[in-house]
Structure 1
Amino acid sequence: MLALGLAAPARAAAPAGAAAPVSAVRADDTVGQIANGLINSRLYVTSGAGNALSAADQNEVKAALGRDRDADIRAVVVRDDITQAQVGPMLKAVANRVGKGETYAAVTADGRHLGAISKKLDSKEINQIVTRTNGVPLKDRLIRFGDLAESKTDDKARSSAIAGYVTLGVLLLVVAGAAGAFLVVRRRGRERDARRMAELKRGVEEDVTLLGEDIARLDLDVMDPALDPGTRSDYERALNSYDGAKSATERAARPEDMQGVTTALEDGRYYMTATRARLAGEPVPERRPPCFFNPQHGPSVQDVTWAPPGGVARSVPACAADAEAVLHGTDPDVRMVPYGDGRRPYWDAGPAYAPYAGGYYAGYGGFDLLSGMMIGTMLGSMMGGGFGGGFAGPGDGGFGGDGGDVGGGWDFGSGDFGGGGDFGGF
């Protein structure tokens, strides 16, 4: 399972008698492990943080954060060398998976760097609180952060209540107009969703049709007694997967319904590959994730390092032809899907294609695998919380920030936010 960007690069083993580099000996926890640890706890200390807090200190921090009910804080202690760019997406991904909590904070094991995201506090307020905790030891810094966040949350709630009474009368005067505007927005939203669903359905139907044509080209007679039992079994599985995918596509009414379709298509593609191998007298291939560039190509044969235009390089599974293209510096055959009046790569065709992609990789780590492969793409920007669409800003019931950075005073050691710029608090 991927650690969503938290894993340090692999290093060669240190020579005998030499101290191993810190990044080589510190294990990292996955987003799933951190989220599981925070479901019923206010504090999680990652493996990479080592013994930053004793058991007694951890209990003291948990008890203190548990008293901060309005701020509803959950904290993660991370490695000292985690960067700002890594912490922001991690906190959002953890928050989405836990599904509860109002404020999430991350602090390095040495207590020097602290950043947070919050539904209740904006970036300016988070930065002010973090600044007031600078220079405090780890345990005390977490407790003080919680106390200050709770106090600020309570102050905002009181101010909001007063302002609410003042504005209630004004709001009543505009209810009729607002209701009309809401109906217009909702109608437009429904029209947009219907258009996206129609585009998605066309794209999925293309995948289903292609598999059907592939199966038809073999034209095997499963009743032929001379047919090898293994070949017959794999071919029948491919047929059943195709039939299931076709029926599910016809019934699909929401993008989420397409996940089961592409899972069936991935199954059918593998068994078609296995059938061909048996007919050719070759070994049945290992079952691997579909080709990232175009899942229609069937199972991948190897992983290659690839980066989208302007993006970060990552390891992705590829079929033989696409692996060859990438290794020789040419463009792979990318799956282009319907989008508006044209076509786009499926990973840049909007949130409707998230379940589509997730279904193809459901048996290989699902969204955890995809989140690593799609960093920097449209779908990748929404995968921090399992394709949940990310968080809105403060006041909209979501966490602020864009997910790419974390603010609140995350310091790279220069004392000036790593060289300048207002990163904002989440």
Structure 2
Amino acid sequence: MYNHNDNNPNRLPALFPFSSPPHSNPLSPSSDASNSLFKILQLNCHNSFNVTLSVLNTKSDSSILILQEPWINPHTLKLPIHSNWLCLLNHNHSPSSYQDKHHTCFLINKKYNSERIHPLPGGSRILSAVDINININKIQTIRFINIYNPPKNINVLPELDTWLNKFNNRKIPSFIFIDSNLHNKLWNPPNYPHSHRESKFLIKTCGQKGFKIISEKGVPTFLTKRSSPTTIDLTWANFLSQKLIHSCITSSRNHASPPSHPIKRLIKLEISNTPSTHLSPIHNILDKHLFNDYDLPSIETIHPHIINPWEDFSLPISNLNVKKEDIKAKVQSQIDQSKSNSEHLIFTDGSNIPKNGAGSAAILDNSTHFSCRINSSEKALAFKAEVQAVIIGLDIFINQHLSSPTSSISTPPINFFVDN
């Protein structure tokens, strides 16, 4: 999925020119400018942490992000926490597992007053809607509908039809943002003849409710090496909202992680020195967590000892220069020293028990812990369970110490204690 997104453009579906009134507006940005644009970004993140975080970290004047398939934390089942954005997941859906996670979300710039944001009833993990009070130039409210239509097995279009029958209001300027995964000659790129039968239902449903396509027709939004470029990400607007549109463009910015990022450079360098068939899972850990709150130049780089596949890696304990009977005392000394320096301690463990499956666990500072079963013993290795435990430890730390907007930028060191 992530490779697709490396080539996928995103859509800047609507820029609304509003003249700000003289008095202060709770939703409008605090700016002295006499004119402002309410900017919207629509993007499918393809479940990629890199892409989702790139969108959140981009210095943009977008007012709202309309995301499909954002990265969802597999432990909390929520989006990454970010100080600049208010996250809205459909409150009508409470996932009980990662497989039941949300596929759509709204991220609204925190410079807007949250009291003017009203999530709408109905919807599900693949359909959500929100009203935002604008109160500019006689425009009271704008409605945003976010839909993800999976490419296989699930057809969300009847759900969209049902939702519009209950809640559509032609007196409110409204937009539908959909990753349709559908082809039709109405929006296909030139010389792309394929058409899905379901696309006719989408056209009929939106048309009967007063919506028409405002996104660029024929401009590819999904690029892949396996087939011709296609247009599947669409934006629809009703009659009132069409009057507000300043422009609607498809951008070539794909929000993949920039090569210039220090951590990314480090990972690429390490991968180039590691056998391609034995990539370290630690690279994936680094790639999936937020490091911009740390002092990157001071991060200690540990260079692993790479053992050739033909070498015996069951090294004797003497290689550690510590006698086996002295290890427990040495570890206890390290723990005591870390505590005296007010440093964080994370203990992790992973196991694979035949017939019972694989599991992972982590505990932070002897107070916060989390454990989970990750798979059956036939589908998961003990090493995978160990690595997953480290990931859990990082998640606990981020949620405990980096989730608060008032958290200090200067964070004490983190010490991981693992058994292998």
TM above 0.5, yes or no, is no
Higher strand proportion (structure 1 or 2): 2
Which of 1 and 2 has higher RCO (CA within 8 Å, sep 6+)? 1
Using the size of structure 1 for normalisation, the TM-score is 0.23
Bigger helix fraction: 1
